Amino acid sequence: MATTILVGAQWGDEGKGKIIDVLTEQADVVVRYQGGNNAGHTVEVGAEKYVLHLIPSGILYPGKLNVIGNGVVVDPLALLEEIDHLKSRGIAVDGNLLVSNRAHMVLPYHKVLDAIREQSNKIGTTKRGIGPAYSDKVGRTGFRMVDLLSPEKFSAKLRLKVRETNEIARAFDQKPLSFAKINADYLAAGKKLRRYIVDTIKLLNRLERDGRQLLLEGAQGTLLDIDFGTYPFVTSSNTTSGGACTGAGIPPHRIGRVVGVMKAYTTRVGEGPFPTELLDDQGAQIRETGKEFGATTGRPRRCGWFDAIATRYSVTLNGIDELAVTKMDVLDELPKIKVCVAYKLDGKLIDTVPADVDDLSRCKPVYQEFDGWQTSTKLIREFEDLPKRARLYLNKIAQLSGAKIGIVSVGPRREETIFL
Ligand code: GDP
Ligand code: IMO
Ligand code: MG
């Protein structure tokens, strides 16, 4: 296995955490390359369930190196909490976790600004300060992990940033933030995190040249990408495979494979167009069966049928070689299953995702209907053993999406996986 990128092919929560976990067995290093603790990646091992927000989903495999790449925005307090939580559950986090010194930080004022912006311009964010932290990065006024290692410089710059944010907070009737508290909290966090903060670029490229297997873990999904998603209802980073190179510091020609994770249906959290959304009992049933509630915010996820226009766009954009189809088992009981094969926009058939969200909002899905297999797939471990109708469905969604299937997931646990 050459360096592999794993991306979400829909609107996030495709089951990336689970698939990273199963692929980690063959990898040496897992690198998160973008996003922050807006992500919630679930891994179930035996009777234990772990939700990872910043730490790569490879952490549950002993002996693998896990790296938070330069493209991630890190809330140091959230990271410490996650480290402590894992340690309290007996997971080793020392010696196998590193954080790029170039990764930008999320500070408390980013969360304040996130909440203020949501009042007038509702995206339905996770309120983790992600957008404002990336805005500061691009605006060249951000803090990076390396800054935690120079307390005096950190404090001087922080004082200005807190003053600036408090002006805005006042204008929106928000409580002002305390420079002293943030300064003390973050410098204390810096002391604890110091041992994890390194220059990951040199290290990752050396490991890669030495023949180690790198697995680059994306967060969110293609339709939430800042450039290619349903703008402005997106997250603030490049979730797609190009973002893996810039967010990990690995050159494009060293990438050997791109895996796209997609659910056998579709979900979305937050605002924004969702052509195949089911607002009826069918949607509620999928939400119940699939336990579709956010791993980070607990919000109910919007549920709908599989959208092959969206996934074909993802396959093209990311260069997906192999698909991992998750949550097949959630469709087990359904008598009929629909797949969106085209959009109808103002009476005209189209087969691409329009750039304008208002156009996408007006798109009506054109469906092809399939007979359900109506039998449990949870215990099946070989593709050939799946019911014929399930195989037919999988082959159809792969063909419509334009890539071959490498993995089918029939349950949240490690072993509930079919490799093709
Ligand atoms: P991620 O953000 O892409 O890592 O996905 P999440 O962890 O937010 O959401 C996926 C949810 O589906 C988690 O609760 C997983 O444990 C669960 N899951 C993953 N694969 C499967 C599957 O094949 N079947 C079922 N029933 N659940 C799955
Ligand atoms: P994982 O990695 C699903 C959504 C939010 C909101 C939009 C912007 O678990 O798949 P943000 O806080 O990033 O500024 O919110 O993006 N969103 C996600 N939806 N899965 C995620 O992560 C998400 N991370 C952000 O709901 O619509
Ligand atoms: Mg998630």
13 CA to centre of ligand 1 in angstroms: 7
User: 151-171 burial string, b = 16+ CB within 10 Å, else e?
Assistant: eeebbeebeebbeebbeebee
Tell me which residues have their CB within 5 A of the ion that is ligand 3.
13, 40, 295
Residue nearest to atom 28 of ligand 1 (CA): 412
Q: Is 8 in the pocket of ligand 2 (CB under 6 A)?
A: yes
Residue nearest to atom 13 of ligand 1 (CA): 42
Residue nearest to atom 5 of ligand 2 (CA): 125
40 CA to centre of ligand 3 in angstroms: 4
The pLDDT tens digits of the residues spanning 175-229 come to 999 999 999 999 999 999 999 999 999 999 999 999 999 999 999 999 999 999 9
Q: Is 267 in the pocket of ligand 2 (CB under 6 A)?
A: no
369 CA to centre of ligand 1 in angstroms: 25
- Identify the bridge partners of residue 30 per DSSP, sorted by sequence position: 66, 215
The reported pTM is: 0.98
Which ligand number lies closest to the CA of residue 239?
Answer: 2
User: Active-site residue 41, yes or no?
Assistant: yes
293 CA to centre of ligand 3 in angstroms: 9
Ligand 2 atom nearest residue 128's Cα: 12
Which ligand number lies closest to the CA of residue 127?
Answer: 2
Which ligand number lies closest to the CA of residue 292?
Answer: 1
Cis previous bond, 132, omega within 30: no
Residue with tokens 């500061």: 136
Mean pLDDT of 90-104: 96
In this prediction, residue 297 carries a pLDDT of: 86
The pLDDT tens digits of the residues spanning 6-38 come to 999 999 999 999 999 999 999 999 999 999 999
Mean pLDDT of 103-112: 98
Residue 370: band (very low, low, confident or very high) from pLDDT cuts 50, 70, 90: very high
Active-site residue, selected from the candidate residues 21, 41, 53, 114:
41
pLDDT at 262 over 70: yes
Residue 1: band (very low, low, confident or very high) from pLDDT cuts 50, 70, 90: low
User: Which run of H or of E encompasses 209?
Assistant: helix 200-209
For 207, other C-beta atoms within 10 Å of its C-beta total 17
Q: Is 261 in the pocket of ligand 2 (CB under 6 A)?
A: no
Average pLDDT over the chain reads 97
The pLDDT tens digits of the residues spanning 308-329 come to 999 999 999 999 999 999 999 9
d(C-alpha 121, C-alpha 333), whole Å? 39
Residue nearest to atom 6 of ligand 1 (CA): 13
Q: Is 294 in the pocket of ligand 2 (CB under 6 A)?
A: no
pLDDT at 111 over 60: yes
d(C-alpha 112, C-alpha 174), whole Å? 8
- Identify the bridge partners of residue 215 per DSSP, sorted by sequence position: 4, 30
d(C-alpha 396, C-alpha 308), whole Å? 10
The pLDDT tens digits of the residues spanning 115-150 come to 999 999 999 999 999 999 999 999 999 999 999 999
Residues in contact with ligand 1 by the CB-under-6-Å rule are 8, 12-18, 40-42, 44, 295, 326-327, 329-330, 409-412
In this prediction, residue 296 carries a pLDDT of: 85
Q: Which of 55, 269, 274, 35 is nearest to 131 (CA)?
A: 35
